[in-house]
Structure 1
């Protein structure tokens, strides 16, 4: 029996199999495929009848693939990815974009250095259309899982088989202050040193201060005041005017430190660092333009170059999404 030649399996069956394997339940798949849960249950039952085998083991927590389901999923992913490539190629023949990259970051300041990297990517992939989704900044993983993004530049991680990661670079969060601030001569500061300080932090309606909640509060330290500021540039100007201190990425503060307008101090003797990664949906990890996007971010983005120049004693190369070595990743 040939399931494909006999027209017993259709693309909608493969999409359903892939979605349920990724999400773990029909309830989570229903809004993604724009069908009711009962309709999906009916489709899955027909699929298993046509295959003649159970594809999922159902338990209280999630639906797990059976050995038969795992085998069929391997072929389904290959077929769906090839159909996506074919769709891009046909679109390019009609004058449209061969592919679209929808991207977001987990830090608003990253949008300052991201455009040059995207421009370099588009020089190599001339038919690539890029869409920056700023609205997904505060929820990059939810946007990835909902199919709203193709890639997210993040420093937090999730243990979820739906997404895979590639290491990019580290950056350091530093305390910035006016050159005449009482702590300006310090090479580093401890949480207790910031007791009674006015802290300026970037944020929207629902944001909180990372410095206050994750560093000062656990140490039992209370600042004098927390002031939420919606623009990084405004924070810089307020600190330059002596209206408070702030914590921000070293690469963001560097121009003002080099000009003498601000001083930067390490937060604690050991420093506070973030590990940045490129997160993509598992089924898209092999797309050429996403692989190259990771290469460019790791080699030429502003934070990556600063990290290599100032901190990295050994060059860490991440070679693939979810793996440690690959010829496709060279930097």
Structure 2
């Protein structure tokens, strides 16, 4: 019969290419890990891991299946402990959550503040969709907070807040002085400082393409804070999603002007995503619920 330690070992292996690395993470010796894998393989009745000197190791197809099942069981055990505590009724255990990079300065501090569960250990990862979604699939993350843009179907979503694209301008820009909502046609000949990160880049390009327009891109930068800094110096305009607690100044303290963008500015949302059908641990759901409340209070 497999022990919980056997399951913990197999759940850990997919994230490593050497036994030494896995052993270090599991806090056992490499020889002890090798012996444990041999024991697990004997119980399974087949090879789960290919071990080659000087070439590290790799899991067989059966090994990957075993590891996936082991990780699921470990998650469910953690859920059981969090849902049915034996004494004090507190939520406990790790929550590994990801956040889309441009959202992080607005969402992470507000979410961490007031999350009153000291026995829950929070670990944060910031990145793009290309970084967060694979980590969610492999179980490296429990939940990720992202824009509801081009998300695969195999994800469950919980809405955090509704949003839409808006225009950020230097206060002295001629378009900032208009009282009406801006149109894409107003912007087509202006200098756009593009936030270069999928799916945000595609979304901006699709907005222009939907009206047969092509933006005049003068710079593509990988950070939204850099977009705002360049706009603050009058180098162009930017497009970004409307968000709570958004300071109307750049990182250098220069004033910015935010203007509504007229249709076809399609409504969007920030969502918490988890693998489809996954039973969400109580401590993870508590974080999602707290984030939703924190964002609602920040508008």
What is the TM-score with the length of structure 1 in the denominator? 0.59
Alignment of 1:43-192 (within 5 A): 80-85=74-79, 98-121=92-115, 123=116, 125-135=117-127, 137-156=129-148, 157-160=151-154, 163-184=155-176, 185-192=178-185
How many positions carry a matched residue from both structures? 241
Give 1:147 shift: 1.3
The equivalent of 1:276 in structure 2 is 270
**In structure 2, how many angstroms separate the alpha carbons of the residues matched to 1:260 and 1:136?**
27
Task: Specify which of 193, 203, 214 is matched with residue 200 of structure 1.
Answer: 193
Contact 1:153 1:277 in 2 (8 A): yes
The verdict on how the C-alpha distance between 1:126 and 1:218 changes in structure 2, with shifts beyond 3 A counting, is same
Contact 1:174/1:272 (<8 A) preserved: no
Specify whether residues 35 and 87 from structure 1 end up closer, same or farther in structure 2 by C-alpha distance, changes over 3 A only: farther
Identify the residue that residue 283 of structure 2 maps to in structure 1: 289
Report if aligned partners of 1:190, 1:267 keep a CA contact under 8 Å in 2.
yes
Deviation at 1:282, TM superposition (A): 5.0
- Any idea what SS the aligned residue of 1:225 has? strand
- In structure 2, the partner of 1:299 is 293
Return the offset for 1:300.
1.2
Counterpart CA distance in 1 for 2:200 and 2:285 is: 34
Q: Structure 2 regions of 5+ residues with no counterpart?
A: 11-47, 51-57
Q: Secondary structure at the match of 1:285?
A: coil
Q: Match for residue 257 of structure 2? A: 263
In structure 1, stretches of 5+ residues that fail to align are 1-6, 17-28, 44-72, 310-331
**Is the Cα–Cα contact under 8 Å of residues 98 and 126 in structure 2 kept in the other structure?**
yes
**Secondary structure at the counterpart of residue 288 of structure 2:** helix
Deviation at 1:208, TM superposition (A): 6.8
**Runs of at least 4 residues off by over 4 Å:** 9-13, 38-41, 76-82, 85-89
Name the SS for the 2:175 alignment partner.
coil
Partner of 2:240: 248
Q: Is the 8 A contact 1:154 1:279 kept in 2?
A: yes
Alpha-carbon distance in structure 2 between the residues aligned to 1:159 and 1:276: 16
Cα distance change on mapping 1:226 and 1:219 into 2, 3 Å:
farther
CA deviation profile, 1:107-163 (whole Å, cap 9, x unmatched): 423333312312422x2x212211111245543222111111111112233321xx4
Summarize the Cα distance change of 1:39–1:179 in structure 2 as closer, same or farther, 3 Å threshold: closer
